[in-house]
């Protein structure tokens, strides 16, 4: 469904009276990723690691500095605007700001159908009613405004709007992080059932590993603009290979006081994307860093079937095995 190779996105920072160049933000840095048809790929990482920037690049809202984004074997730059919007849609993080407060819910959900203009008006209205019904809202809700709904109901409206054009790939940018815990399970179950009914592919962005473990088939870990690990869900949560992934998992609290916490403290702060470190981006904070980590960036490679990682620990292991043979 989606293949990303050597993707880079840089922003020039300007300041001062003459707006002179102050530096370059490396928001996405040499990123590799692939999403299979019909799966849910979870993308996790700290705030500021480039997850939302990647989402905007996939939707064509931002232009890459370099690299390739290939959607259904066609480079993204060759897609026409309307054809791209029919194929890829996005569910935004905040249902309070992503819905127009001056429009009724019916107008909001029907808007992408009006823009694409593939059907007569009455057919578009019928489709709107069907989509609201699918997300658990009634026909009477079409005449109401977003402020008349709860947070969970607003997110259901946002889901209905995203799915109205019947896309194949849906980018979910932390769609439940702004919701109460009691509402999150309802929205996640709704997304899961809609995926089965409509044959959807999800790229699910989140910082909540419990949500990722519940919904996703594979997990990609992003750090400072790069994917450092990509693995099936069970393999990732059972045996994470990258030190950063292991640190993320040990930071998740276990709701059982009889189990002692297994902490893996990281030293230092997240480096600035204005001046990313040389070599492996994680080496200044890594408890297992080696000399080569500060000099050369590891390649993103498959160390076992379906499990990819960018770490010199496994580069060295592979090289040792070759030397022994």
Q: What is the pLDDT of residue 321?
A: 39
Q: Give pLDDT tens digits for 139-181.
A: 888 999 999 998 888 988 999 999 998 899 999 988 888 777 7
Cβ neighbours around 237 below 10 Å, total? 16
Q: Do residues 248 and 44 lie in contact, with contact meaning Cβ atoms separated by under 8 Å?
A: yes
Name the average pLDDT for the chain. 86
Q: What is the pLDDT of residue 261?
A: 63
Query: What mean pLDDT comes out for the span 67-78?
Result: 92
Beta bridge partners of 107: none
Predicted confidence (pLDDT) at residue 101 exceeds the cutoff of 50 = yes
Q: Given pLDDT bands bounded at 50, 70 and 90, which one contains residue 323?
A: very low
Sheet holding 20-35, edge to edge: 20-35, 2-15, 66-71, 74-75
Predicted confidence (pLDDT) at residue 275 exceeds the cutoff of 80 = yes
Q: Give pLDDT tens digits for 30-45.
A: 899 999 999 999 999 8
What residues make up the domain containing 94?
Answer: 2-324
Q: Given pLDDT bands bounded at 50, 70 and 90, which one contains residue 262?
A: low
Cβ neighbours around 95 below 10 Å, total? 25
> What is the residue-wise DSSP string for 31-60?
EEEEE-TT-EEEEE--TTSSHHHHHHHHTT
The CATH code of the domain that includes 162 is: 3.40.50.300
Predicted confidence (pLDDT) at residue 320 exceeds the cutoff of 50 = no
Total structural domains in the chain?
A: 1
Cα separation, 127 vs 164, whole angstroms: 7
Q: What is the pLDDT of residue 256?
A: 67
Cα separation, 101 vs 316, whole angstroms: 56
Predicted confidence (pLDDT) at residue 266 exceeds the cutoff of 80 = no
Q: What is the pLDDT of residue 181?
A: 79
Residue 12, exposed/middle/buried by CB under 10 A (0-12, 13-18, 19+)? exposed
Q: What is the pLDDT of residue 316?
A: 55
Query: What mean pLDDT comes out for the span 231-251?
Result: 90
Predicted confidence (pLDDT) at residue 64 exceeds the cutoff of 90 = yes
Q: What is the pLDDT of residue 233?
A: 92
Q: Do residues 239 and 307 lie in contact, with contact meaning Cβ atoms separated by under 8 Å?
A: no
Q: Given pLDDT bands bounded at 50, 70 and 90, which one contains residue 264?
A: low
Q: Given pLDDT bands bounded at 50, 70 and 90, which one contains residue 318?
A: very low
């Amino acid at each position: 469904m989606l293949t990303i190779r050597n993707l880079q996105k840089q922003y020039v920072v300007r300041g001062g009276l003459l707006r002179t160049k102050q530096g370059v933000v490396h928001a996405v840095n040499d990123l590799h990723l692939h999403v299979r048809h019909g799966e849910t790929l979870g993308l996790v990482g700290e705030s500021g690691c480039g997850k939302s920037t990647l989402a905007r690049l996939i939707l064509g809202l931002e232009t890459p500095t370099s690299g390739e984004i290939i959607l259904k074997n066609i480079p993204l730059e060759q897609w026409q605007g309307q054809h791209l919007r029919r194929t890829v849609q996005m569910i935004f993080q905040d249902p309070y700001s992503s819905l127009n407060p001056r429009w009724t819910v019916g107008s909001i959900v029907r808007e992408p159908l009006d823009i694409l203009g593939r059907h007569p008006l009455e057919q578009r209205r019928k489709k709107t009613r069907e989509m609201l019904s699918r997300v658990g809202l009634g026909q009477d809700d079409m005449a109401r405004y977003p402020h008349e709904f709860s947070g969970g109901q607003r997110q259901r409206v946002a889901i209905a709007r995203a799915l109205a054009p019947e896309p194949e790939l849906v980018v979910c940018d932390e769609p439940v992080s702004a919701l109460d815990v009691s509402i999150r399970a309802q929205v996640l179950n709704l997304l899961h059932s809609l995926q089965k009914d409509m044959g959807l592919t999800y790229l699910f962005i989140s910082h909540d590993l419990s949500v990722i473990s519940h919904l996703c088939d594979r997990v990609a870990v992003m750090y400072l603009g790069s994917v450092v690990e990509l693995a099936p869900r069970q393999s990732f949560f059972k045996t994470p290979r990258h030190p950063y992934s292991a640190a993320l998992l040990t930071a998740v609290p276990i709701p059982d006081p009889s189990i002692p916490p297994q902490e893996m403290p990281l030293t230092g702060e997240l480096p600035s994307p204005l001046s990313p470190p040389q070599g492996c981006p994680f080496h200044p904070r890594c408890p297992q860093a080696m000399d080569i980590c500060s000099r050369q960036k590891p390649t993103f490679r498959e160390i076992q079937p379906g499990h990819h990682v960018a770490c010199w620990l496994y580069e060295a292991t592979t090289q040792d095995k070759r030397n022994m043979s």
